[in-house]
Amino acid sequence: MTDNDAAVPRLTALVAASIGEEHRERLASEFPDVSFVPIPKSGEVPPEGADARILFRCSMSKDEMTRTIAGAPNLEWIHTCTAGFDQLLVPEIEELNLKVTRSAETHHLPISEWVIGFMLLVSKRYADLWVAQREHRWAPPDTEDLAGKTIGIVGAGAIGTEVATRARPFGMRIIATKRSPVEHAAYDRVMPSDALPELLGESDFVVLACPLTTETKGMIGAEQLRQMKPTAHLINIARGKLIVDADLIRALEEGWIAGACLDAFAEEPLPPDSPLWDVPRLVLTPHASYRSPYMFHRATDEFAANLRRFRAGEELQNRLREPKLGY
């Protein structure tokens, strides 16, 4: 028997419990030479998955991640269905030099629509109209146009760029900051990160679309909120810890800015006794901007594309580059 006659070991991939049977069956059909092993919500690796080299992760806590990594000593690559890396970065990833990739294109469509929806909500005063209807009052509101307004996007990545693309037909001026700025047709101007004060001062809507890193944690506090226009709105569809909550509460109570929409919070679910619930001119949504009936389908598309690269020995796309910085 020669080396060429030896059986090639079957590739095994672990699949998180939240990724349903429909998507596992699709992967099995596309990759008949790969074993896709579901793991329970606890993260415990079943015996048939102990030799896994791949993890397709979604909705797993860091404790569950640690448990899974410990149960799969041959693990080489983790793909997460999230747009960012912060929710899965456990010390073992860097210690074991694991490859990590993300679903960069999965969430940008629903999130961008959510941002447009909020801008229309406050510009057209839909909430006031709903209240008036319930009270049987004929009360035409004073409204604003989006046309001519400036939207400032903090983080000109896939999500930020999709927001820019969808804002363009409304006739908005679009500016952004990016750690490594490059010109892009979706924007009127892309500035470096240290130009944040300039962006805040020019924008009617400030959209946080950047990752949570050691550099961005608490990046919007009292100083930055005072740099915004008193008529401006802040929209956070990224991570809650980008904002200093106490400073935002004060800014809204004292009228430094016109309003805000938060779809991400430092603690989730938001506790019932959080002071954020009762802040004037603040819209809270339960980290729902990314939700879509097509989310897992899109995430599976991105995972499958990288799985083909992995099997071919090619460079994986959307890799974690700087574990210490979280992106």
Q: What is the pLDDT of residues 164-179, one digit of tens each?
A: 999 999 999 999 999 9
Q: What is the pTM of this model?
A: 0.90
Query: Per CATH, which fold does 3-106+294-312 belong to?
Result: Rossmann fold (3.40.50)
Structure tokens that stand for 55 in this block = 């993890």
Q: What is the pLDDT of residues 217-240, one digit of tens each?
A: 999 999 999 999 999 999 999 999
Q: Say whether 105 sits in a helix, a strand or coil.
A: coil
- Which fold does the domain 108-284 belong to in CATH? Rossmann fold (3.40.50)
Q: Where in the chain is the domain with CATH 3.40.50.720?
A: 3-106+294-312, 108-284
DSSP 316: P
In angstroms, the CA 104 to CA 113 distance is: 16
Give the amino acid at 81.
C
User: Would you tell me how many other CB atoms lie within 10 Å of the CB of residue 141?
Assistant: 12
Residues marked active site are found at 239, 268, 287
- What residues does 99 pair with on adjacent strands? 77
Cβ proximity of 23 and 297 under 8 Å: yes
The low-confidence residues of the chain, meaning pLDDT below 50, are 1-8
Q: What is the structure's pLDDT at 2?
A: 39
